[in-house]
Amino acid sequence: MLDTLNSQDSAWRQRAKAVLPNGMYGHLSTRLLPEVYPQFFARAEGAMIWDVDGTGYIDFMCAFGPNLFGYGDREIDDAYIAQLRIGDTMTGPSPNMVQLAEAMVAQVSHAEWALFCRNGTDATTSAVMAARAVTKKSTILRARGSYHGTSPWCTPVQAGTTEADRSHQVWFDYNDVESLRAAAAEAGGDLAAIIATPVNQHTFLKQQLPTADYARAARAICDAADAMLITDEVRSGFRVVQDGIWDRLGAPPDLSAWGKAIANGHCLSALLGNARARPGIEQIFVTGSYWFSAAPLAASLVVMARIKDGAYLSRITDTGERLRAGLDELAARHGVGFEQSGPVTMPLMTFADDPDFRAGYFWCAEMLKQGVYMHPWHNMFINTAMTDAHIEATLAAADRAFGALKAARATLPPNTRLFGASADR
């Protein structure tokens, strides 16, 4: 049956095998997802995606974050297209670069300047470079398991990197003030920066919200050591508050990295910083062929106007709360140990006593077959295009999927697809 249903996807996978590394690379490879997941997609609109065989799904991955206002948002895309027709990648920047910097500085408490780039990794790497330049020190503290991109200094897979790429790094445990202090002590007089995701979003593990004590301890350590506090908001930015998350916890960073939601799918990332960090960013040389392109900035200006307005946030929060409560109730009724973690707008859904994710894979596959695209070990995202009808359909699918899981769980085979793969992401 799968062969018939997914014949287009199978055909594209065959062609892809010949000309793309591993048939598909990076975080959009379905290699570590249940086998039933399609690899190639034909179309996206609002809260929905359609695979190349024409099957539609309510998409809770939101392109891994960029989709905040729905796929193909007309106003945002029209702004992009209008600017593209006037001038996009030119020999000089457009003034809208200044306007967007002003809008982001106005929105994010600690920000006094902005630098625009393309990848989240560009922003996190530039932040580390700026911190080293301004402090004239080298050591950075990182939380174990936190993802900051795939530059050699931070890619989670060591293949192709050298030990030197990871030099001057000391690790600590998220939300653990003692561990953070011990790492700072190890850095001694060479502490350049602490880099942290505002919310702990490890793959495979339950998410953790930061405690105010932990965030403020990081701020205090940086103050005492004349070091820079860097938050990596690439995934979380504007999905929880209309500001930097740690600004709201009383631990404003000196530098922060942004991306994904800030342009609703158009290619844009940004590094924001305060006056203290400015001499650092003004010393380093970072640039890129497309870092000054005007069209993504035009799209982001529409996004930032909506961020400022704030109605989007109550909408996605309401949607996320409704989904969380509905799923919890269904799971309890079926008596399956279902766990939801992280902010309701960025939920991670896992099962208790499921070390190899066999229950999660089964449940996600059951959801997928009913037209709901979920992820068994990566946090998901809520967007404003999700309606009550989408949530109702999702809950109806979940009811059946929990039932199927309950019936099948005792006989589920080991998860050979993921087995041995956790170090591979």
Considering only residues 118-147, where is the footprint of a second copy by CB under 8 A?
118-122, 125, 128-133, 138
Look up residue 223 and give its two tokens. 């103050």
Give least dist CB 6 to a second copy, A: 13
387-425 as b/e, with b when 16 or more CB fall inside 10 Å?
eeebbeebbebbbebbebbeeebeeeeebebbeeeeeeb
Distance CA 362, CA 366 (A): 6
> By CB under 8 A, which span of 108-116, 174-182, 213-221, 363-371 interacts with a second copy?
108-116
Site for a second copy contains 204 (CB under 8 A): no
Contact set for a second copy, span 384-403 (CB under 8 A)? none
Contact set for a second copy, span 261-300 (CB under 8 A)? 265-267, 269, 278, 280-293, 296
Closest C-alpha among 269, 299, 264, 288 to residue 84: 299
Q: How many residues bind a second copy (CB under 8 A)?
A: 114
Give least dist CB 230 to a second copy, A: 13
CA angle 326, 328, 329 (to 5 degrees): 65
Residue number, 40 or 246, with CB nearest to a second copy: 40
Q: Which residues pair with 71 in a beta bridge?
A: 46
Residue number, 190 or 399, with CB nearest to a second copy: 190
Contact set for a second copy, span 224-243 (CB under 8 A)? 234
Contact set for a second copy, span 153-192 (CB under 8 A)? 153, 155-157, 159-162, 164-165, 167-168
Q: Which of 53, 75, 88, 356 binds a second copy (CB under 8 A)?
A: 88
Cβ pair 170, 141 in contact under 8 A: yes
Site for a second copy contains 332 (CB under 8 A): no
Residue number, 77 or 318, with CB nearest to a second copy: 77
Residue number, 41 or 406, with CB nearest to a second copy: 41
Contact set for a second copy, span 342-371 (CB under 8 A)? none
Cβ pair 375, 33 in contact under 8 A: yes
Cβ pair 367, 420 in contact under 8 A: no
Residue number, 67 or 146, with CB nearest to a second copy: 67
Residue number, 73 or 354, with CB nearest to a second copy: 73
Give least dist CB 214 to a second copy, A: 27
Cβ pair 203, 61 in contact under 8 A: no
Site for a second copy contains 5 (CB under 8 A): no
Closest C-alpha among 250, 231, 236, 203 to residue 313: 236
Site for a second copy contains 87 (CB under 8 A): yes
Dihedral sign computed on CA atoms, order 388, 394, 395, 396: positive
Residue number, 15 or 333, with CB nearest to a second copy: 15
Residue number, 81 or 389, with CB nearest to a second copy: 81
Phi and psi angles of residue 133, each rounded to the nearest 5 degrees, phi first: -65, -45
Residue 167 makes CB contacts below 8 A (sequence gap 6+) with none
